[in-house]
Amino acid sequence: LSSFKKESTWNWLIGPIIYCIAPIINVFSNTFLAETFSSLICLTFILSYWYFREPKCTTQQALVYISFFLAIITKRENIVLLTIPGIHALDLFIRSVRERIVIQERCVYKAFKLSLSDILPFICLMVIYLVFIHNIFSTEATEAIDIKSSTFSISFFIKLFPCFAKALFTFSYFSISFWLFIILSITQLSRKFYSEKIVSIIVLFILYLGLYTFHYRGYFFVMYDELSSFESFRYINNFYYLIPLCFCHTNPYKRSLLPILIVFLGVALWQTKTEREYYSQIENEERFERARAVEKYINSINDKAVLITENILIYQNIVDRDFNLCNIGSLNALPDFVSSRDI
């Protein structure tokens, strides 16, 4: 926020308001999903790259590379963040060439070398990730065997894109934020000269949306061909921050837009409360009530029984400390004396 304030008086305020007028983001940003943490790290990388990229401080430069590496470790789809230094390198190359009236081979080579030096460290970090931490190509091949289909498909896009689009355009979920983003994108890109940051944000948003709609959304989706708008929320949560970030780097109409956004913010706060109560009730009825019923039944027949479950976190939140639980993935680690108990 302090970085935004350096560019414009209104930047520090307009972004958080745009973020908070989306009720469903207010709900999901308080969950323990990996996407919530991932979006924070991605935002940290983008801002640190834009404001701390110059060699002024070693600590600030370290933040740029650490946040990028941590982002791709957290979620594999975050490799699209390479778009940010990639577009900057391309812009740097074009501007370096334009500054010379006569384009000579040596000048073009220098411009290419300068732009390559900016993106090369991020390519190296991505190679380290792919080789030593997580080979996503091997993972995709394994998943393709499991679902007996390609993990990326146009048929998935045809089914998933309308689901994501419906969620983003629904007022009770995202208010007017996505509408404003589309209008802002069109007005900015229709200009003769536009900001590198705006282009980066728009391209990154499209890439994320493309990844999530061309890629299959789990085994259940492939087998039963079903996906609701609710299931798209967790994925949108990973890149929604790009919408308020886009408004933070544009100047027109901010002062006139602010009163309107404050009105929608008030509406969003009420909708957030409603949505939170609604989903909390569903979670309680469909998850915790069933877990309580299982706990009550086991305690009534044998207080020394061991419950083996794949949803161990739910039970850990409601059962007593002396209740015997085992994660189904750790079944082989059970001691021998447990075999004499009722499981």
Instruction: Identify which of 53-62, 117-126, 310-319, 329-338 has the greatest average pLDDT.
Output: 117-126
Contact 238, 77 (CB under 8 A): yes
pLDDT of residue 68: 93
Choose among 160, 129, 207, 122: nearest CA to 137. Answer: 129
| Mean of per-residue pLDDT scores for the chain | 80
Q: In this model, does residue 19 exceed pLDDT 60?
A: yes
Q: In this model, does residue 165 exceed pLDDT 90?
A: yes
Residue 223 phi/psi, 5° resolution?
Answer: -75, -40
Higher pLDDT pick, 194 / 140: 140
Averaged pLDDT for residues 149-164:
88
Q: What is the number of other CB atoms lying within 10 angstroms of the CB of residue 220?
A: 11
Averaged pLDDT for residues 155-178:
90
Choose among 213, 116, 87: nearest CA to 159. Answer: 213
pLDDT of residue 102: 44
Contact 278, 287 (CB under 8 A): no
Q: What is the number of other CB atoms lying within 10 angstroms of the CB of residue 244?
A: 22
Categorize the per-residue pLDDT at 254 as very low, low, confident or very high, splitting at 50, 70 and 90: low
Predicted TM-score (pTM) above 0.85: no
DSSP SS3 for 324: strand
Residue 301 phi/psi, 5° resolution?
Answer: -105, -35
pLDDT of residue 28: 84
pLDDT of residue 13: 76
Instruction: Identify which of 108-122, 162-176, 207-221, 299-313 has the greatest average pLDDT.
Output: 162-176
Tell me which DSSP letter residue 326 carries.
E
Averaged pLDDT for residues 244-253:
74
Q: In this model, does residue 8 exceed pLDDT 60?
A: no
Tell me which DSSP letter residue 152 carries.
B
Categorize the per-residue pLDDT at 2 as very low, low, confident or very high, splitting at 50, 70 and 90: very low
Categorize the per-residue pLDDT at 51 as very low, low, confident or very high, splitting at 50, 70 and 90: confident
